[in-house]
Each structure stands twice: as structure tokens, then as C-alpha cells.
Amino acid sequence: MAATAGGRGEEANETSECRRLQRALSECHRRIPSGPARNSACRHLNRALAECLVSTACPDQYDAVKSLCSSSGTALKRSQCQEAQLSLSFEEKNFGSRG
């Protein structure tokens, strides 16, 4: 697990939040039959869990993407946003292949 600026206490809180979101998403999937209704109803939980996991595993890259891609901005900012997204995608692939 990646260390964060706030130390182990903050990391534990992030992990706890991810677990809470995972339970909520599982509950959403249990309650709503598979199909478009489930996709619509559980979408916000799915996205929140994905963001939680990525921000916990790759906090620096996640923060860069969040900061650089928050608005369209200039051509330079859009280019920096794309570079940050690419960096995050490589980090995720490298993180996922460890073990």
C-alpha cells in the first residue's frame, strides 16, 4: 500500500473508506438484478470505489491527474493532463503486475 503525506493513520482511513465503498457496491449488486438498472443505480459507487483504490495505490499520480484535468484550460494544460493520465495508466499496469 502506498504511503501518504498524512502517514499511516490517513492510509488506514483511506483503506477503510475503500472497504466501505466495496461493501456498498456489493450490496447494490446484490439488491438490483443485472442489467441497465443496476448499471445506472450502482454507477456512482463503482466510480467512487475505483477512484478510492487508485488514489490509495498511486496518490501522487492520482493527484496530478485530478489537478491537471479538472478543467479544459489551455493547450498546454490539456497536454499536461494527457501526460498525467498516461503516467497513471503506466503506474497502474506496473502496480498490477507486481506480486
The Cα-based distances of 60 to 4, 13, 37, 63 in angstroms read: 9, 17, 35, 5
Crossing angle (nearest 10°) for helices 59-68 and 75-97 = 160
Q: What is the pLDDT of residue 90?
A: 73
Domain ranges of the chain: 11-57, 60-98
Per-residue pLDDT of the chain (99 residues; tens, 9 = 90+): 444 445 566 667 778 999 999 999 999 999 999 999 999 999 999 999 999 999 999 998 899 888 888 887 888 888 888 888 888 777 656 655 544
Q: What is the pTM of this model?
A: 0.66
Cα dihedral 56, 96, 19, 2 sign: negative
CB 14 within 8 A of CB 4: yes
